[in-house]
Amino acid sequence: MATELFLASSNAGKLAEYKILARDALKQTGRKLELHLDLLPNFSQLPTFEENEPTFGENAAGKALHYSRLSGKMVFADDSGLVVPALGGAPGVRSARYAGADASDAEKIAKLLGELRCKQGQPRSAYFVCVIALAINGTAKAIVSAQANGEITEQERGSQGFGYDPVFFFPPLKKTFAELSVEEKNLHSHRGKAFQRLIATLPDA
């Protein structure tokens, strides 16, 4: 019997990304686990969980607990973002709203590069972090996290990915996240590594 996990989101693009991550993770480990991922039914009609907590972990866990309690299903939820220690941890949990609630990726990147203007070396160090929580009937089953370390470039590079990917340089591959193939990013990204850890908590079929 397949293990069913429901993503606390109405974002079909994010679901598609997680399906690829699941496929790659199971292929790498050779596990005999039949995993079925889907969006949480009627997500937009359920009472909203406001992601106003101060940490990625609290936002992810709160969201998973909230929607699992309402639906009775096994729900997973994530919170992720970019952290630049030299900016006091910004953009941090406000990564999606860093330049305003309706700001485009280009506007968020422009603000970030503006904040780091004239800074060189260590002040440009940064990392992506992702926390994923799994819950059922209002009870947490797993909370995992992972990060990818890098630095902020002075200009955008690459056309893949989204968000801050074009200015996040990943030293091990000498590329920005926006220059990586899908396979490379799944293997090395914060979300890819966190989801691998989540799958590792699930029992084999």
Which residues are marked as active site? Answer: 79
Residue 27 neighbours by CB distance under 10 Å: 9
Q: Which of 124, 198, 106, 88 is nearest to 190 (CA)?
A: 198
Residue 71 neighbours by CB distance under 10 Å: 18
Q: What residues have CB less than 8 Å from 187, skipping those under 6 apart?
A: 24
Beta bridge mates, 146 = 130
Strands 139-152 and 35-39: unpaired
Joined together, the tokens standing for residue 62 give 């709160």
Residue whose pair of structure tokens reads 């866990």 in the numeric block:
61
